[in-house]
Structure 1
Amino acid sequence: MPRRILQIVFLLLSASPVLAQEPIINCTDSVFCVPGVVGLPRSKGIVIKREIVRDYWIKSESGDGKSSAEVRRNRRWEFKLRAPIILKDGFKMAAGVKYFVEEFNFEQPDNLDYPFYQNLENRSLRSIRGEIFMVKPTRTNKYYLLRLSAGLNGDYQSESFAKNDFFKFSISPLIGWKKNDYVSYAFGVAFSYGFGRRSIYPLVAYNRSFNNQWGIETILPAEIKLRYSTLNLKNYFYAKAELHGSNYSIRLDEAKNDLVFLDKSEVRFLLTWEREIHDWLWFGLEGGLRSNINFDLSDDASISADVLVENRLNSAFVYNFSIFVVPPRKLLK
């Protein structure tokens, strides 16, 4: 029975161009245009990741005064799942779920009673989100993309607040063109928390494969990466820079029982190696430098919110290990 279930999962994952590599074809008026280019790896359907950020210092300033501490443990577990729900030549849709929990442990604080450190150490940051991905190809060289994401961020297990107090929503529509089998690009706009606070900003996507092994993938300002694969397609290497951002609803003062908002954003410079274990099962190793942009506590999630606790973080080394599932090659032929 477990083997049969795995076969069904693989079949579903391999059927969707949103999740798996499409056959490469030129866009003409007789076929539907697909956004994929030569050299892209098979998409990840199930991902389990463990991440660790090495020790770094945090310096804080608020109405409670100034303080600093060393963050000795900053760890994160992450789980992702994606699967198609509509499969038609002229329209594809896939759905996914993402869950992660992030933990902090402080050492050597100047002020042992500093509320921000106490609450962050005793309460993990959590997120559970559902995602919808849509692709609308046309019979020209044009295609449309839409991503919707919604879920709960922060201390949503608290019984003191309604779940909608922790609700976050984002949307990213794009319109794209495929120049040929090696080049595609798209433009759009994002309403999200990519910079830590709720904001709207433009998106520019550009995928270019120089040959079957080398390529570049970008969706600015979120990510830019250089890709290289071995000839047997069992190893992929990346050098990349990426923006990480989120916003958490948390309680800072138990007595007041008010919600505040942690604006978290950072840029990462990473080297990645992904290696096939057995066709559909892969592992990934990643490491590099994380540089903080924003880690402030605000009274609101909007771009114009007032800062309650201003924090400065040192740069730190980050690394992670992941296991993930991709569609088997024989189901993509």
Structure 2
Amino acid sequence: MLSRTADHLFWMSRYTERAENTARMLDVNYQTALLPQSEEMALQGWEGLLTISELKSLYLETRGSTIEARDVLDFMVCDESNPSSIASCLGAARENARAVRGALTTELWETQNQTWLELTRMLRQREFARDPAQFFEWVKFRSHLSRGVAIGTMLQDEAFHFYRMGTFLERADNTARLLDVKFHAAQSDYFGMAHLADHDFDFYHWSAVLRSVSGFEVYRKVYRDVITPERVAELLIVRPDMPRSLAACLNEVVNNLVAVANDHSHETLRRAGKLKADLQYARIDEILATGLHAFLTQFLDRVNELGVRISQDFLMPANA
């Protein structure tokens, strides 16, 4: 298929997934900010979100030197100068869909277009400011709807594989960032478990993290025990049966890479397979012993490199 068509499909899915995961990160911060804690600790959570999202410098440039929860929410939801805001992501997803309208099913195009139209109405009426939690649920629902329509209506050819590849590459990146936001705040290089266990709100903190990735019921089913930070990390990193875990995402990336492999993609497939194997045979106690923040930082670097290589192998037009 044409590289520009693959590129639009790849980025359409990535931007839709990014909007969903931005909503998830904001939701978990919004929920945990409601717990009893000092004002300084609450603001550290919002600053950590900006730092891990690599948006702190842009925020300070556009919003001034003070980090406030309301400003961060506005910056991450509707500020079009922020390329990773929900408004920017859903707008970019719609534009990529429009560019390859002929490669999409009618149902998928209408879903993407309707999402954008509803979003503009909601932002104009400031609905998210009145009830942020409900707005975040709407963003997640529209992403689920788009993904379900794609699976249910698209021919499972190369276009479908690029769509899916973009989804899971973006999900891997964002799940790692979400984990880092919460564990980095708890000084996760030494994991701080003895310190965390002393807090009354510990259960609510980690249950909010699990709910943000639709993992609370899954955790209860798998572990049938109290929620602990190390098991949250295990569920979201190494368990291949958890849909939003890093291991599950890399399994899907590799499967779709295999389906579209060409003469130039051997090295990209090798690196993706190595990252998949590293997660497949990893043990959470070893990861925590060496430092979770360091592990996630290295993982993000490798995922970003993989995205660049996929672009070079498949999405950028070959030089004449």
Structure having the higher strand fraction is: 1
- Could you tell me the TM-score, scaled by structure 1's length? 0.23
**Relative to total residues, which structure has the larger helix share, 1 or 2?**
2
Q: Normalising by structure 2, report the TM-score.
A: 0.24
Higher relative contact order (CA 8 A, sep 6+): 2
